[in-house]
Amino acid sequence: MYDNVNITYLLNSGFILEIGDCAIVFDYYQDPKNLVSKIIQDKKEVYFFVSHIHYDHFNPKISEFQDKVTKYFISYDVVTDVLPEEKTVILDEYMTYDDENIHVRSFSSTDEGISFFVEKYGWKIFHAGDFNWWHWKGDTKENNAFAKNGFTKQLKRLAGLKMDIAFFPVDSRLEEFLDLGVTEFCKVTEVKNLVTMHNVGKKDWIIPDDFPNRDKMKDVWCPKNSGDNHLIEK
């Protein structure tokens, strides 16, 4: 129905997607330029997604938008009484929600909470939350082996998934290991457009020429500043 998605970066893993008369907000944390209220004011449908309880992914302030919100999709680990019960859907791992307007599937994470697969107006969108291969350079071999094992197990659940847009962490605090997770993720899934998130740190990421399935991707976007905007076309 709609041939493009307009994406606005908030901060960390927070994004606003505009698809026609619908707005989808992922992991609202901070909105320094007050973009959310401006964007959603004329939308017929508004959805908020919260992947987990960490302060840089969930801000109780999202309750202030409830008059405009169609549904809040909230991870099971988020305990809050500020959201309207009749508009709030709590999702555990590997659950599905369907109505006449939207399809949502939850997957697990390698940190807290869940990740999301969303279908709206024919667009297939994945938001990883904090699902990633968290290989920390200074950590113990045992902890890093545990992190790898957890990531590999979850990745098997995602193998073969086709996405028009995938939001995935590329966190420069991991130093030379910053793209371990996204590399493996793109090996086993089909991603048309990749958007990096959890962009913490100073190092910019440039996608390697030999990145898996690079020739099948249409676009890679690495936002830097709150308010950065990007248009993705079918």
Q: What is the pTM of this model?
A: 0.97
**Domain 4-233 grouped into CATH 3.60.15.10:** yes
Domain boundaries, the chain: 4-233
Q: Is the model's pLDDT at 201 over the cut of 70? A: no
pLDDT for the residue numbered 200: 66
End-to-end C-alpha distance for the chain, whole angstroms: 11
Cα gap 151→132, rounded to integer Å = 7
pLDDT tens-place string over residues 47-74: 999 999 999 999 999 999 999 999 999 9
Q: What is the pLDDT of residue 57?
A: 95
| Residue 57, C-beta contacts closer than 8 angstroms, at least 6 positions apart | 12, 13, 14, 27, 29, 50, 51, 113, 129, 130
Q: Tell me what the pLDDT averaged over the chain comes to.
A: 95
Asked if pLDDT for residue 202 goes beyond 70, the answer is no
B/e letters for 160-199, b = 16+ CB within 10 Å, e = fewer, are ebebbbbbbbbbbebeeebbbbbbbbbeebebbbbbbbbb
Instruction: Give me the residue label for tokens 């791992």.
Output: 93
**pLDDT on residue 63:** 98
pLDDT in tens, 206-218: 899 999 999 999 9
